[in-house]
Amino acid sequence: MPTFRVERPEPRIVHLVMDDPARKVNVLDEAALADLEAALAQIEADRDLQGVVLRSGKPGSFIAGADVDAIGAITDREQVRTLVRRAHAVFNRLAALPVPTVAAIDGVCLGGGTELALACDSRIASEQPRTQLGFPEILLGIFPAFGGTTRLPRLVGLSAALDLVLTGRTLDAKRAQRMGLIARAVPAAWLLDFAHQRLAELGRRPAARRRDRFRPRGSAAWALDGNSLGRGLVLNRARAMARARGGDRYPAPPAALNVMERGLGRPLEVGLGLEAEWVSDLVVGSVCKNLVRIFRLSERAKKDPVVADAAIQPLAVRSMVLVGAGVMGGGIAELASRNGIRVRLRDISPPALTRALQTVHRLVEERGRKRRAPARERDAQRGMILPTADLTGIRRPDFAMEAVVEDLDVKRRVFAELEVRMRPDAVLATNTSSLSVSALAEGLEHPGRFCGFHFFNPVHRMPLVEVVRGARTSDQTLVTAVGLARRLGKTPVVVTDAPGFVVNRILMPYLSEAMALLEEGFTIAGIDGAMKRFGMPMGPFEVLDEVGLDVAHKVAGVLGKAFPDRMAPSSALEKLIASGRLGRKNGRGFYLHQGRKRRVDPQVRALIGRPRPRKAQNPETLVERMTLAMINEAARCLEERVVTDAGMLDLAMIFGAGFPPFRGGLLRHADTLGLQRVATRLNALRAEKGERYKPAAGLLKLVAEGGTFTQPPPMA
């Protein structure tokens, strides 16, 4: 059965229906383009037509975009160019039909799907929340090259087009209507009726005036998009933003900017030719391949079965108890309430509850302003949270989580209180960042319902949740916890109960190595600057200040006991804490903090006994030492099966620690360096600096076998 078919619901009106029989969602690939060509040939042969409606045959879903797997697999530039030009040709045939064309959009309409809709004269979309329009290609290291980069500015203006293309953000139907991307947002039940009405409206116009096009609305829009000076300012501002966000590490934004600038005011075919030339280099480049891999891994984490028995399904979580109203507790409460979960927020300190509710209020208002959510929606979300100083009324909730101080005895007391008050099938979860989940479960009558659920701060921004399986955690509990993480919009990575789990365990050698470099005389600014140039969002000392020096020292103590040979707590860190430096929370750490501004504290060097700074002859040597420490620890995590595979470890480090996505992940970076080189450098550093650099056994095994962390083994 073809992906595209032609239906005739009314005389002289046809529906061009996309319904991929092999997939749950519609995806544009070479086979789909061939079917579209055949369907258009059938439509072109009909001389009695008065209009065409493009729609999906899948309820609640339009077109999810191009085939991501195909993008990841193509390695030949000319093959990419040929495919893009073929898409241009077939989309141009749709645009050139002599009768009005309207896209009727219900559900996800992304990437190539939106580009196909742009080839129609007009677009309408359903008002359902499931309807989202946008161009996420920039997140895969490319840009919309099936005509989107060329057609979009002609429809919504340059400034709005740049915003959509360069950010990858999506719009609901009402916002798309305000922007001009669609002509009208309508109730889903009447979508096709309105599509036919739109065809009739367009049919009464001259052929040259049927296509929706951009018209500046108001003096501000004209100043930006209605003249060459304004467009120049818009392009310059977009270039500055692209440099600030990724510089030359992400080549797709500057490529998209060049295509849009050079195509402005020129014939459509010129812009399409530019799209094909520029995107062909991007698709076969390493950044695109790495970002596509990350996308696939995140889809795995969100969709793959959690346990072997498919009959085990997650229990419904309608309400939860949250103990601990600190910064983390407030963030978790806001996230849960945003996703329709009632939260009973408990803390013995009324001021802490007040601060948590203030955090919730701030986050709700910030998100409401961005989404233009009505006040009643924001009030309804806040009404989902019930603060309390006791544990009464917690018999009914389905899930309990604690976010209290990182102390084993305190957390055990919390769960002892919760277990006797909650239903026997309710899940108990700890947000610990370093304590043993199995040790926390000791003393519980039903340890099978206990697991770890480790958020990263700030909760509303960090996408990762480490779901920790303790020694006695049941399959049902694990499946329910992963299901909850997915419902909350987070990316869950399942890890076994090991000291520091995955992210903190790998970060600690990195931070320890930064401290060692500081004690050797290298500067705070030099070390942080080197790692930021490598691609990390913050340097190691900036991270320590954000986390809190006291918190980092406590985690280092836990990991130091588990791995004394390579993670012993830093004496320099202890000296800074003793001097009253805790980081951002009290304004003094490695940096002095004033609001959003910070500067290196000049007294730190004297406090740690290194008054004279030392300059690195080559900053890359600093980067090498810190990244090798992470790679080596990551290899040990794989040996110990803390995480299932290298892909999930890479995903955890990108989403939980900010490892640069363009490098594809920590272990993909190791493979790019070459594992033989990694092992050689580790051995050289071991001879110079000590046993903490001893190469992991799993790493040496891969070197001996000629294997890699992230690629299939070589063929015999």
Angle at 90 between CA 84 and CA 95, to 5 degrees: 120
Encoded tokens for 662: 């363009």
Residue 27: which region, alpha, beta or left (left: phi > 0; alpha: psi -120 to 50)? Answer: beta
Provide the pairing of β-strand 122-126 with 101-105.
parallel
Encoded tokens for 328: 């983390």
Rounded alpha-carbon distances, angstroms, from residue 193 to 124, 126, 205, 260 = 11, 12, 19, 35
List phi, psi (to 5°) of 386. Answer: -115, 110
Residues in contact with 599: Cβ distance below 8 Å, sequence separation at least 6, in sequence order: 591, 592
Encoded tokens for 521: 């005389």
Distance of alpha carbon 256 from alpha carbon 638, whole angstroms: 39
Catalytic annotation on 454?
Answer: yes
Provide the pairing of β-strand 108-110 with 101-105.
unpaired
Burial grade of 594 (CB within 10 A; 0-12, 13-18, 19 or more): exposed
CB 312 within 8 A of CB 475: yes
Distance of alpha carbon 52 from alpha carbon 199, whole angstroms: 8
3-state secondary structure 247-294: CCCCCHHHHHHHHHHHHCCCCHHHHHHHHHHHHHHHHCCHHHHHHHHH
Strand partners, 320: 343, 399
DSSP reduced 3-state for 546: helix
- Amino acid at residue number 681: R
CB 448 within 8 A of CB 477: yes
The single residue of 15, 88, 196, 454 carrying the catalytic annotation is 454
Strand partners, 133: 109, 171
Distance of alpha carbon 137 from alpha carbon 130, whole angstroms: 20
Distance of alpha carbon 32 from alpha carbon 48, whole angstroms: 26
Encoded tokens for 601: 């504290």
DSSP reduced 3-state for 547: helix
Distance of alpha carbon 221 from alpha carbon 216, whole angstroms: 5
CB 632 within 8 A of CB 506: no
Distance of alpha carbon 539 from alpha carbon 532, whole angstroms: 6
DSSP reduced 3-state for 101: strand
List phi, psi (to 5°) of 444. Answer: -75, 145
Distance of alpha carbon 413 from alpha carbon 686, whole angstroms: 44
3-state secondary structure 612-678: CCECCCCHHHHHHHHHHHHHHHHHHHHHCCCECCHHHHHHHHHHHHCCCHHHCCHHHHHHHHCHHHH
In this structure, how many other beta carbons lie within 10 angstroms of the beta carbon of residue 311?
A: 5
Cβ-defined contacts of 546-552 (< 8 Å, 24+): 546/583, 546/584, 547/457, 547/583, 548/582, 548/583, 548/584, 548/585, 549/573, 549/576, 549/577, 549/581, 549/582, 549/583, 549/589, 550/577, 550/582, 551/406, 552/511
Distance of alpha carbon 632 from alpha carbon 652, whole angstroms: 16
Which residues carry out catalysis? 454
